[in-house]
Amino acid sequence: MHNLIVWMNNLFQNHGVQGLALNSFVESFFLVPPPDFLLITMDLLKPQKALYYALICTIASAFGGVIGYYIGFWGGRPVFNFLFRNKKEQFESVERMYNKYGSFAVFFSAFTPVPYKIFTIASGILSMNFWKFITASFFGRGLRFFIVSLVLMYFGETFKQYIEWIILTVTVLVILFYIIIYKKRHVFLKHDD
């Protein structure tokens, strides 16, 4: 499996920016390596183009998310079961997250290392509002890729080994921010009653 991932990563890398875009696009609905590996490599080679690479990743990934959404929307649960064999528990977990958090669940999957492709397809199956889905996808993916590129652009190799920790820390801060906003909104709504 490791050899397959290395081979696919090399294949995308050999095509430069087009390979980065293709990797980001396909990874949103199919089992290929995340584009982060290629993005990190390209950012380190040409730090002056890091923000451009992050933008390419964001746009391509969001468009790939649209494909995933429609795969789920038209194919339903049978397609999900075919693509993600033995992942019924994961789908049920995703469904619970949607019921509880709505589009924030998509945002978190787009931003964190959670498999985004599961959420894109599940969004279509669960008939999530398309515009909320695409907005959450775009901002979640954008935040992830731009953080990686900004860190590497300014700090290069020094911070490369800490990227996952940086993403995790920012994820926790974003979650705390939304929890505070959510609680304040409920307190405000109670005062209005």
Instruction: Give the predicted TM-score (pTM) of the model.
Output: 0.76
With a cut of 90, say whether residue 5 has pLDDT above it. Answer: no
Which pairs from 84-93 meet CB under 8 Å and 24+ separation? 84/118, 84/121, 87/118, 90/118, 91/118, 91/122, 91/125
Cβ proximity of 12 and 23 under 8 Å = yes
At residue 187, the pLDDT reads: 47
pLDDT at 57: 96
140: tokens are 């979640």
Given a contact cutoff of 8 angstroms between Cβ atoms, the answer to whether 121 and 79 are in contact is yes
With 80 as the cut, is the pLDDT of residue 17 above it?
yes
Which residues in the chain belong to E strands, given as ranges?
Answer: none
Q: Which of 110, 131, 135 is nearest to 24 (CA)?
A: 110
Domain that holds residue 111: 2-192
Number of domains the chain is built from: 1
Q: Across the chain, what does the average pLDDT equal?
A: 81
